[in-house]
Amino acid sequence: MAQSSAIHVKGIGKRFGSFVALSQVDLDIRAGELVALLGPSGSGKTTLLRIIAGLEWPDQGELLLNSDNALRRGVRERQIGFVFQHYALFRHMSVLENVAFGLRVMPRRRRPGDAEIRSRVQRLLELVQIGHLGDRYPSQLSGGERQRVALARALAIEPAVLLLDEPFGALDAKVRKDLRRWLRQLHDRLCMTTVFVTHDQEEALELADRVVVLGHGRIEQVGTPEEVYGAPRNPFVFDFLGQVNRVRCQVRGGRPLVPYAHIEQMNGDGAQDGPGTLYVRPHDVVLQRDPAGPATVRFVGVVGPVVRLEVEVIMGAPVLEAEMPHHVYAGYRFTAGDRVSVRFRAATLFSDVAGEQLLSPADLSLTSAAL
Ligand SMILES: Nc1ncnc2c1ncn2[C@@H]1O[C@H](COP(=O)(O)OP(=O)(O)OP(=O)(O)O)[C@@H](O)[C@H]1O
């Protein structure tokens, strides 16, 4: 394989007419890193990927591949392999011919000989575990197999960077899960700089070394999966990554006034006095049976490994969602109608910013239930 490239994005901006698709994006990706671009629809993920690829040009900013100014180079010169959601395989070509395509169209001085192409293609098919499918045509393959062919084809040119745009988006949940684990293993073997776009938080957190959370054309946070999930920097990232209870409250002396819950660990510094919002993950909501408690259990869902409860706080506060492992629930056996006390194991406080745009729960992907 060719040497992997580091990618440096500096101050990149891109407009489509008057619409700002990317604004002042700075990002450094190390050679050999596996990075996810994660964000809601329209946040600019694909635009950034296309700029790195050379399929789109920014209005401002710089892009370096290692120390080379990539904006001076066309798509072909950047040594980049792509895989897109809709496996754009050539239907009239066999799997072998599809994978060989990138090699056959290389300039003559770089093009390997026929025998070398054949053996390289076979090695790649073995690598993506479809060595027995070389003579088939795309219409004779499953979706997961086609995506493996697309990957083998991208790898054939020995790219310095591999870019994947929702590579598994069109596949069903089970195949998708298998393929992403396999992609992680493949990446660990090849150590190639890889950037993939997804709007699926679980996919990003499970697969990537680092996750870049994009919103409205800006980078909201960059960090390891633990960092972005465990310590979201702002309400946008909190809302986007995982289920969360949002508790409106007043802030006094930097502390939230939430009369019905004891808060064990408060995160988030510097909330101003005035209106604020407390963010609490469902697994940090702890319930105790208490006949004099301020809340009532309204719903208990016991299907699956995690039990999900909804709790209504007396005095009209919104319903809180709590989650606990089955074995913990077995010790309590809450049922609808039980009065309970409420404790927040950890909560994060942000001041409400005038005009701030929060996602509605309907915007949130429910895949977080598994987290
Ligand atoms: N060629 C174009 N002309 C006009 N607007 C565009 C063009 N390409 C993208 N946009 C707009 O720029 C914004 C960002 O698009 P982009 O495809 O980067 O988003 P995304 O985060 O990848 O979204 P999705 O998850 O839906 O693919 C969108 O609002 C999109 O409509």
Q: 268, 280 in Cβ contact below 8 A?
A: no
Whose CA is closest to atom 17 on ligand 1?
46
Residue 58 within any structural domain of the chain: yes
- Cα of 20 vs centre of ligand 1, distance in Å, is 10
User: What count of other Cβ atoms lies within 10 Å of the Cβ of residue 94?
Assistant: 17
- Which residue do the tokens 């150590």 mark? 191
Locate 128 and state its tokens. Answer: 């993506």
Whose CA is closest to atom 9 on ligand 1?
47
Are residues 191 and 297 both part of a single domain?
no
Q: CA 320 to CA 313: how far, in whole Å?
A: 8
- Cα of 48 vs centre of ligand 1, distance in Å, is 10
Residue 1 within any structural domain of the chain: no
Give the start-end residues of each E strand in the chain: 7-16, 19-29, 34-38, 60-65, 68-69, 80-84, 161-165, 193-198, 210-215, 218-223, 245-252, 255-257, 261-267, 274-280, 285-289, 295-301, 306-313, 320-325, 339-351
Report pLDDT digits (tens) over 231-243: 899 989 998 998 8
Are residues 157 and 303 both part of a single domain?
no
- Cα of 99 vs centre of ligand 1, distance in Å, is 29
Locate 147 and state its tokens. Answer: 């995506």
Asked which of 168, 198, 230 is the last residue of a domain, the reply is 230
Overall domain count for the chain:
2
Q: Provide the whole-model pTM.
A: 0.83
Residue 122 within any structural domain of the chain: yes
**Predicted local confidence at residue 315, as pLDDT:** 66
- Cα of 171 vs centre of ligand 1, distance in Å, is 22
Q: CA 39 to CA 22: how far, in whole Å?
A: 13
Query: Counting atoms of ligand 1 from 1, which one is nearest the CA of 39?
Result: 21
Whose CA is closest to atom 2 on ligand 1?
16
Locate 38 and state its tokens. Answer: 């994660």
- CA distances for 116 relative to 100, 112, 347, angstroms: 10, 6, 59
Q: What is the CATH number of the domain that holds 346?
A: 2.40.50.100
Are residues 291 and 221 both part of a single domain?
no
Residue from 345, 338, 298 nearest 317 by CA:
298
Q: What is the DSSP letter of 168?
A: T
Whose CA is closest to atom 3 on ligand 1?
16
Are residues 248 and 144 both part of a single domain?
no
**Predicted local confidence at residue 354, as pLDDT:** 54
Give the residues of the chain that fall short of pLDDT 50.
355-371
Residue 359 within any structural domain of the chain: no
Residue from 261, 240, 258, 241 nearest 249 by CA:
258
Query: Counting atoms of ligand 1 from 1, which one is nearest the CA of 49?
Result: 18
Residue 362 within any structural domain of the chain: no
Q: For 24-44, b where at least 16 C-beta lie within 10 A, e where not — what string?
A: ebebebebbbbbbbbbbeebb
Query: Counting atoms of ligand 1 from 1, which one is nearest the CA of 50?
Result: 18
Among 43, 48, 198, which residue has the most ligand 1 atoms within 8 Å of its CB, making it the best to mutate? 43
Residue from 357, 355, 345 nearest 245 by CA:
345
Residue 370 within any structural domain of the chain: no
Q: CA 59 to CA 66: how far, in whole Å?
A: 21
Are residues 248 and 278 both part of a single domain?
yes
Are residues 88 and 178 both part of a single domain?
yes
Query: Counting atoms of ligand 1 from 1, which one is nearest the CA of 197?
Result: 22
Residue 331 within any structural domain of the chain: yes
Locate 32 and state its tokens. Answer: 């050999």
Are residues 226 and 256 both part of a single domain?
no
Are residues 295 and 343 both part of a single domain?
yes
Query: Counting atoms of ligand 1 from 1, which one is nearest the CA of 214?
Result: 21
Residue 64 bridge partners (DSSP): 8, 69
Locate 91 and state its tokens. Answer: 């239907």
Whose CA is closest to atom 1 on ligand 1?
16
Residue 75 within any structural domain of the chain: yes
Are residues 252 and 127 both part of a single domain?
no
**What's the domain range around 45?**
7-230
Report pLDDT digits (tens) over 180-233: 888 888 888 888 999 999 988 999 999 999 999 999 999 999 999 999 998 899
Q: What is the CATH number of the domain that holds 40?
A: 3.40.50.300
Are residues 154 and 259 both part of a single domain?
no
Asked which of 230, 261, 276 is the last residue of a domain, the reply is 230
Which residues sit with their C-beta closer than 6 Å to ligand 1? 16, 19, 21, 39, 41-47, 199
Whose CA is closest to atom 16 on ligand 1?
44
Are residues 258 and 182 both part of a single domain?
no
ipTM for the complex shown: 0.90
Phi, psi torsion values for 351, nearest 5 degrees: -70, 145
Are residues 214 and 170 both part of a single domain?
yes
